[in-house]
């Protein structure tokens, strides 16, 4: 299985999550030899997207048998890996529809018949179910990185076409532009002017201009601008997307980002990737492979090797005993380390498979909603369907998860679902929920860094809707590993910019690159 695989590398990357994939691509891009491995048979780790069959298989977690390997010499120390799936706990998949073995035809021809699990399984490949659903600010860190590195050529996106707001016990559309605000019949003319003044301030003022108001609760600052409770709720939940306890500084920063994103690619601040968020990690892995990195799924990883005399991580060991050495760094997701047992913070994630959108529309929408009130943290709601290639036509995936991790939060699935159902009324009820998938995801972002030299620990997702933490961690670790001015993910050349040298041409004036290729 491992015959012919080189044993020496500059960098070994363990895990194919977002941070690891970005780092693997960045290291390969500057010419380093990279071995990028994952014990799973799919890309993405905690950021993966699954078909329905693959998700059902993933819920059946398999324990990893610990293998005893003797040290090579007196200075070598063996550190066994942990099962990376241990970061996802209390995994449950429940169905509200019958399972039948009867032969069925397509869902379109059986629209009048009750849905069965058999019918859904026949459509398995049309599902792309995210473990970690995220949105992309049009002017956000990850989109900028995709454009900068030219990884964007591997990706496709759709606009998040509908933003909803919880107001007066129902769901209402959020005005996303100046024209939407002034065309709204729900806001008085005076309130429109006050709202636009605050929005313009958030867009144009610097943080320093706030002076002593920086640390004032953002809701208090908004009230100082004579905004009523309804408009305060609109800005907090649908523009800044912060809790009621957030400071004015935080509210301004996030509002400015939202406003800067509107208009870059359309009349929405958010994008959503076609075929789910798992495509993003694969895009960076693809770039790594283009620049010579070796990708290896289902790698039989057993342990890490340390030099006890220097306290350095030297590489990894396969279950078959082969050792692979890293000269510069071993980059590893926290999920592979025993240290995950130290974290008690979890994010409770809910995925509902439904046959109806939460709000009626003339066209299919990609929807985002943030639920919040003065006495609770925000809950993100993302709904996708057939348009972005995430579900069969007529079905939807509804993602719900809290913005902040909690300690021993318990299973509050029913409470969150009931909260949403109170807003949807008779249009969307429990009968529209065909199945639900829930799990608790350990938050590893707050775990301490490695105390071992040349071992760099990465983290999994957090509860936010963006990728800022992952991008920042990848950039910081890259500059920690290579601190001599190496560029982080320089733009990769387009195929038309590359000229392949003819081996038979011995003319010294021949070239393998065009002048505008950036290497």
SS3 of 222-249 = HHHCCCCHHHHHHHHHHCCCCCCCCEHH
The tens digit of pLDDT for each residue in 382-395 reads 999 999 999 999 99
Binned at pLDDT 50, 70 and 90, residue 111 comes out as very low
pLDDT on residue 104: 46
Give CA separation, 404 vs 80, 208, 276, 458, in Å. Answer: 31, 28, 22, 19
CA 185 to chain centre: 36
Residues 8-84+275-342+445-481, CATH architecture: 3-Layer(bba) Sandwich (3.50)
The tens digit of pLDDT for each residue in 381-435 reads 999 999 999 999 999 999 999 998 877 655 689 999 999 999 999 999 999 999 9
Mean pLDDT calculated for residue range 456-482: 95
Domain boundaries, the chain: 8-84+275-342+445-481, 177-261
pLDDT on residue 103: 43
The tens digit of pLDDT for each residue in 435-451 reads 999 999 999 888 888 88
pLDDT on residue 175: 84
Q: Which two tokens stand for residue 460?
A: 């999994």
The tens digit of pLDDT for each residue in 144-178 reads 999 999 999 999 999 999 999 998 889 999 987 77
> Does 375 have pLDDT greater than 90?
no
Do 356 and 377 touch, CB atoms closer than 8 A? no
Mean predicted lDDT score pLDDT of the chain: 89
pLDDT on residue 78: 92
> Does 506 have pLDDT greater than 60?
no
Do 260 and 203 touch, CB atoms closer than 8 A? yes
pLDDT on residue 286: 96
Binned at pLDDT 50, 70 and 90, residue 118 comes out as very high
- Three-state DSSP at 468 gives helix
pLDDT > 70 in the chain, percent = 90
| Phi/psi of residue 47, nearest 5 degrees | -100, 10
> Does 185 have pLDDT greater than 70?
yes
> Does 62 have pLDDT greater than 90?
no
Do 20 and 14 touch, CB atoms closer than 8 A? yes
Q: What pTM was computed for the model?
A: 0.90
> Does 114 have pLDDT greater than 90?
no
> Does 516 have pLDDT greater than 50?
no
Q: Quick check: do 8-84+275-342+445-481 and 177-261 share a fold? A: no
> Does 512 have pLDDT greater than 50?
no
Fold of 177-261: Guanine Nucleotide Dissociation Inhibitor; domain 1 (1.10.405)
The tens digit of pLDDT for each residue in 283-302 reads 999 999 999 999 999 999 99
> Does 282 have pLDDT greater than 50?
yes
């Amino acid at each position: 299985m491992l015959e012919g695989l080189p044993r020496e590398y500059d960098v070994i990357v363990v895990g194919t999550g977002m941070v690891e994939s970005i780092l693997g691509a960045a290291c390969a891009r500057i010419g380093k030899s990279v071995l990028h491995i994952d014990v799973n048979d799919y890309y993405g780790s905690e950021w993966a997207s699954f078909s329905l069959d693959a998700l059902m298989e993933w819920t059946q977690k398999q324990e990893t048998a610990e293998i005893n390997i003797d040290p090579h010499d007196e200075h070598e120390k063996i550190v066994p890996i942990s099962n990376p799936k241990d970061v996802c706990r209390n995994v449950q998949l429940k169905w509200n529809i019958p399972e039948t073995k009867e032969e069925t035809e397509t869902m379109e021809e059986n629209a009048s018949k009750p849905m069965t699990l058999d019918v859904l399984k026949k459509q398995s490949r049309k599902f792309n179910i995210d473990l970690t659903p995220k949105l992309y600010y049009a002017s956000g860190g990850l989109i900028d990185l995709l454009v900068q590195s030219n990884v964007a050529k591997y990706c496709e996106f759709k606009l998040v076409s509908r933003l909803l707001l919880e107001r007066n016990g129902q769901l209402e559309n959020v005005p996303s532009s100046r024209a939407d605000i002034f065309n709204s019949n729900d806001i008085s003319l005076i309130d429109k002017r006050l709202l636009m003044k605050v929005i313009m301030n958030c867009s144009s003022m610097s943080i320093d201009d706030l002076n002593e108001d920086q640390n004032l609760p953002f809701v208090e600052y908004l009230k100082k601008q004579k905004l009523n409770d309804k408009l305060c709720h609109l800005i907090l939940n649908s523009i800044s997307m912060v809790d009621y306890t957030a400071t004015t500084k935080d509210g301004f920063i996030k509002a400015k980002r939202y406003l800067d994103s509107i208009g870059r690619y359309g009349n929405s601040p958010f994008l959503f990737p076609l075929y789910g968020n798992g495509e993003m990690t694969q895009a960076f892995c693809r770039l790594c492979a283009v620049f010579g990195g070796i990708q290896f799924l289902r790698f039989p990883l057993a342990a890490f090797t340390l030099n006890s005399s220097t306290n350095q991580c030297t590489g990894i060991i396969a279950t078959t005993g082969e050792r692979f050495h890293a000269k510069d760094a071993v980059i590893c997701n926290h999920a592979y380390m025993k240290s995950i047992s130290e974290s008690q913070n979890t994010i409770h994630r809910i995925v509902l498979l439904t046959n109806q959108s939460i709000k009626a529309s003339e066209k299919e929408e990609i929807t985002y909603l943030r639920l919040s009130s003065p006495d609770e943290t925000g809950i993100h709601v993302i709904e996708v369907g057939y348009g972005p290639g995430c579900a069969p036509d007529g079905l939807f995936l509804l993602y719900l998860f809290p913005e902040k991790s909690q300690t021993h939060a318990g299973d509050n699935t029913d409470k969150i679902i009931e909260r949403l159902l109170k807003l949807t009324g008779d249009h969307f009820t429990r009968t529209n929920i065909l199945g639900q998938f829930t799990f608790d995801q350990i938050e590893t972002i707050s775990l301490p860094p490695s105390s071992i030299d040349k071992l760099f620990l990465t983290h999994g997702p957090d509860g936010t809707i963006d990728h800022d933490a992952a991008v920042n961690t990848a950039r910081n670790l890259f500059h920690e590993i290579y601190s001599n001015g190496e560029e982080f993910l320089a733009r990769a050349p387009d195929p038309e910019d590359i000229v392949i040298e003819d081996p038979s041409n011995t003319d010294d004036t021949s070239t393998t690159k065009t002048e505008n290729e950036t290497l």
